[in-house]
Structures are given as C-alpha cells and as structure tokens.
A and B are shown apart, each in its own frame.
Chain A
C-alpha cells in the first residue's frame, strides 16, 4: 500500500545521505585545512566555501518547489504536494542560513553587516516569499485546497523572482554607482576544489533532506488519516452490535 515514490525514497536515501555526508566531510577538510587563504581577503575567504553552496542549494530547492508545484497542478498527486511542502521548508532554512553567512562574510570584507546589493535584496525577498508560502500552508484548513493554493503561490513567486532581481539591480545602479562588484576573489584551482566539493555535498544533502522530509510529511498525514478511519470503523462496528 505504500506508494511507489516513497518506496523508492526508502531504498535510495541511505546512499544519497552517505554520499552527501562523505562529500561534505571532504569539503570541510578542504575548506578549513587544506586550502590556502586568499591574497586579498585572507582567511575569511573560507566562508565562501559554505556561503556559496548554501545559496546555490537554496535556489535549487526553490526551483524544485516550482517544478513540483507545476507537477502537482498537472497530476494532483498528494505525495508531490508533500514534496513541495518539504522543498519549501528546506529552501527557507537554507535561505536563512545563506543570508546569515553572507552577512558574516560581508562584515570583515566590506565592513558592513548588510548592503542593499541586488543579489542580497532579491535573496531576502525570496526568503519572504517562502515564509509566506509556509504560513499559507499553516493557515488553510482543507488539505486539498491547501495544496492547490500553495502550488499557485509557488508558481507566481518563482516567476516574480527574476523581475524582483532586475528591478533591484536597476535601482541599485541608480543609487550606488561605486558598486561593490564581485567579492574580488580570484578563484585559483586550489580554491575551486573545496567550492565544488562543498557544492556537490550540499546538493546531495538537499536531496537527502527532501527525501526524509517528504516521508515525514507523508507519514504524518497517513497516520492522521488512518487513525480517523480506524476510529470511524470502530464507531460503525459499535453501531452494528
């Protein structure tokens, strides 16, 4: 009775999780111990090895949310709805972590905790959209309507994000001509390696998180539904006797 997709997740989650963990451990070693500091930024460039993968994975999660929402509206599969919910929660988490690590990186390099740079602002707007999505899911009572509305919100939000990025970028070029361009990191081969390993590790970690969280949401709903039906069964058998 357990759904095919859940069975698939149960079978492969171990591999994905183990692979991701190994990748992350290797990446951590490369980032903190085996790679050189940057010429201009010094040791704080190591923050790049965790900030950039977090941001990349957050955007990957957001894209998965968008694709899953389209899939849900097309096929109306409740497990896809669980997948979307899971992806949104994970994306929100990763976005928050990305914003905070970005802020920590900004302080020693740009001497400010926050700057109204286009990427930062659009990333913050993405976080707000995700929070709105999660709140919407909490406040809708009917599960089928919740799934539909959430899917619509995810699609509208995804289409809007490039427009947000554009508008903020134009806005900043107006008011901040001395733009703080790329963080001035000349990526040598030795610095590319930890970055790539951490990126792969975080992507694998995201897939694993998605598998675990989707199962958690699915099982919670399954238990809830079955308990309700068992109770009603008990009621009916009482009526018979």
Chain B
C-alpha cells in the first residue's frame, strides 16, 4: 500500500473511532481538570508565586494526561484482533507509526487547547500577546512526548503491567522535553523576548526530529509478529 495513504488511513481510522465514541478525549480532559484542581489545593496561589510554578503545573498536567491518551492509542487495538491485523499487514510499519503519531498528536493538542483557557482563567494569566509562541511550544513539546510515547505504547500494549510500564519508560526519556517545555512556557508567560528562551525551542525541535526519525526506523521491530 502506498506510504502516505497508509498514514492518512491509520490517522483517519483513529479519528473516526474517537468521534464516534469520544472516549479518549473526554477521559483525558476530565483527568487533566482533576490534576489542575489538585495542584491548586496543593500550592497556595497568590499572584507573585504563581508565575514561577504555573509553567511546571501546566506541563505536569499535560504530561500525565498525554500518557492516558498514548496508552489508549494501542490498547484500543487489542479488541477484535486489530493489533494482529496491523502486525501482518503488508503496509510499511513506519507508515503505521506515523499515522498513530498523527492521531495521538491531534488528540493531545485538542485537549491542551481546551485546557489552556481554563489555566488562564483559574490562575489569572495574561497571555494574549504570547498566544502564537505558546501554541508553538505546545506543538513542539507535544510532538516530542508523542514520538517516544507512541513507540512505547506499542511496546507495552501486550505486556503485563502495561499501564504502569508506559510512564516508567516514557518519563525518564522525556526529561529534555519537560525541561524545555517548562522553561519556554515560563519565559513566554513572563513576557520575556523570544531570544531569551529560543534555545529551548531549538532543543525541542532537535528532540522531535531525532526521535521521530528513530522511532520511525525502529517501529518495524516493535510491530513484528
């Protein structure tokens, strides 16, 4: 099957099943909401300290929410032998990976875009001018989490203790993404000029490129029957 058609097909399949069931995005969204509430109880939120912490809180919420979505990405394939069908299909496994990556990326971004206004409201942030930069940071960092996350989701879907193995494998490897995302978000929220935190965006871009290529190359060994 032609390469790009496979990618579109896999992504479209995930999108359609999500539109019909709305399972993944709604569970991600409500989990994130709970995380935000718990954080707001844990830290005393007066204006001066909030700025320093809020970037970290945002990304912890997004990371854990993303893990839920990434886990569901392949565990949904366990029903009806869909996973075996993917394994034996003649399509390029790398194309399947990119399709899954696109779907995961889309779901995470949707949840983030719905959640971020809530952050703005709850914590009284002033973000109008930085909106484009923030969207860029979200996109790059989410891509970073999704590249490695989709790979590990495929790896852990058929093993014991799958729900706990995904975060255990993902989070240490995603440390650069988390650091860069938090620092860049903090810079943007503080209103600093882009030059001050631009190197973090470069780091995110490098991470994305390196790990998308690597996961693409390596995926055929994961989805081998």
Contacts and interface: CB of A to CB of B under 8 A. Distances in A.
Interface of A: 73, 125, 128-129, 131-132, 135-136, 139-141, 145, 148-149, 151-153, 155-157, 159-160, 163-164, 166-168, 170-171, 174
A153 to B, nearest CB: 7
Interface string B99-117: 0000000000000000000
Given A135-B165, A160-B173, A168-B179, 10 more contacts: A125-B175, A139-B165, A140-B159, A141-B160, A149-B155, A149-B222, A157-B173, A159-B210, A163-B207, A167-B176
Nearest to B170: A132
A65 B155 CA distance: 19
A141 B161 CA distance: 12
Interface string B214-225: 110010011010
Consensus secondary structure, chain B interface: helix
A156 B218 contact: yes
A139 to B, nearest CB: 4
A132 B222 CA distance: 17
Nearest to B196: A174
A156 B151 contact: yes
6 contacts: A125-B175, A128-B171, A136-B156, A163-B203, A167-B176, A171-B183
B163 to A, nearest CB: 11
A159 B206 CA distance: 12
Interface string B190-225: 000000000110010011001100110010011010
A125 B174 CA distance: 10
Contacts of B203: 163, 166-167, 170
Nearest to B148: A156
A58 B224 CA distance: 32
B25 to A, nearest CB: 28
Contact of B176 (A128, A135, A153, A160): A160
B169 A153 contact: yes
Interface in B137-175: 148, 151, 155-156, 158-161, 165, 168-169, 171-173, 175
Contacts of B148: 156
A148 B160 contact: no
Nearest to A170: B199
